[in-house]
Amino acid sequence: MVQGPSGAVKPVRVGVVGVGIMGYNHARVLGGLPDAELVGIADPDQAQREKVAAMLGCAGFASLDDLVAAGAEALVIAAPTHLHHDVTLAAIAAGRHVLVEKPIAPTVAEGEAIVAAARAKGVALMVGHVERFNPAVEAVKNAIRDQEILSIGITRVGPFPPRMSNVGVVIDLAVHDIDLICHFTGSHITEVQPQVKAAVAEREDIALLQFRTANGVLAHINTNWLTPFKARTVHVATRQKYVIGDLLTRQVTEYFDYKPDGSYSMRHLPVAYAEPLRLELTRFLEAVRGERAPAVTGEDGVAAIATAMRCLATPESSADPVPLRAAG
């Protein structure tokens, strides 16, 4: 842990690489965290970086190297996914701790290369699966702790995002829920049965995905870009209860004490009020200071993209289980 002269924790000097929507939000939140110092943002698009730098009142740089030269100890990589491999490896080579946005990389091999480089360099590596830090997800996780989970159903739908061009719903949306399935079960996915279709977009915009985890949990994800409104819901069935979480309204309800006459009890569970991105970045800073392990490891990120890629493969190749590391 880095401490100042008075013994107080010294703020971690952080920079953000890539300032589209997510990069801007990372920089915005970092600028308000007491244990972080926003060194600045970097983006090759001069107009974009100058606009964001002016909005946030921070320095703007043309490259990652410039951020490093300005003293950034840690970097958030929010560049487009196809650049994650090269940009993250450059950050690691410079000895900087890294939070890379999800997915960790567009391919399993590139994700594994990032994990190996971070391990060799001895820097903290965390993957930005921000849904893990949604207070409703934490409430669901607590409700099913020590329960025998039978099935998980997740719906993540909404309208087509104009910004999206290089990936479909599986990589953009379902990868969140693939990670959540592993997070909830403490296991990894062994069987994949995907149904995907490009109905109106160039890439798949509908996906119905079924899974089985190593510890026997059945799970499915329903995701699309064809719904005129956003919906994010989680349903978990255990031996003793049924839990429903709305990840947008952050309302979590559990149903229990089933009776032979069909009656049951229900209650709304308390859900903390917190911004997921703020919680994610706080955990990243803790990992940088060596206070705890990264909340979402590089291996977790590789497991998520590996399963997502299997969903996009041919049915024949999807049927062969790929050993994946269990999520924490």
According to the model, what pLDDT value does residue 316 have? 40
Q: Give residue 74's domain range.
A: 12-130+278-297
Q: 209 with 109, same domain?
A: no
For residue 109, is it within any domain?
yes
Residue the block writes with tokens 């391919």: 107
For residue 326, is it within any domain?
no
Q: 234 with 203, same domain?
A: yes
Q: 309 with 161, same domain?
A: yes
Under 8 Å CB-to-CB from 160, ≥6 apart: which residues?
Answer: 200, 201, 205, 225, 226
Domain count, the chain: 2
Give pLDDT tens digits for 179-207.
Answer: 999 999 999 999 999 999 999 888 899 99
Is-contact 171 300, C-beta < 8 A? no
Q: 312 with 170, same domain?
A: yes
Give pLDDT tens digits for 253-271.
Answer: 999 999 999 999 999 999 9
Q: 140 with 254, same domain?
A: yes
> What predicted TM-score, i.e. pTM, was given to this entire model?
0.90
Q: 173 with 310, same domain?
A: yes
CA 88 to chain centre: 16
Q: 59: domain CATH number?
A: 3.40.50.720
Q: Band of the pLDDT at 10, cuts 50, 70, 90? A: confident
According to the model, what pLDDT value does residue 246 have? 98
For residue 5, is it within any domain?
no
Q: 230: domain CATH number?
A: 3.30.360.10
Give pLDDT tens digits for 17-63.
Answer: 999 999 999 999 999 999 999 999 999 999 999 999 999 999 999 99
Question: Tokens at residue 259, please?
Answer: 């009776």
Tell me the backbone φ, ψ of residue 115, rounded to 5 degrees.
Answer: -60, -45
Q: 246 with 142, same domain?
A: yes
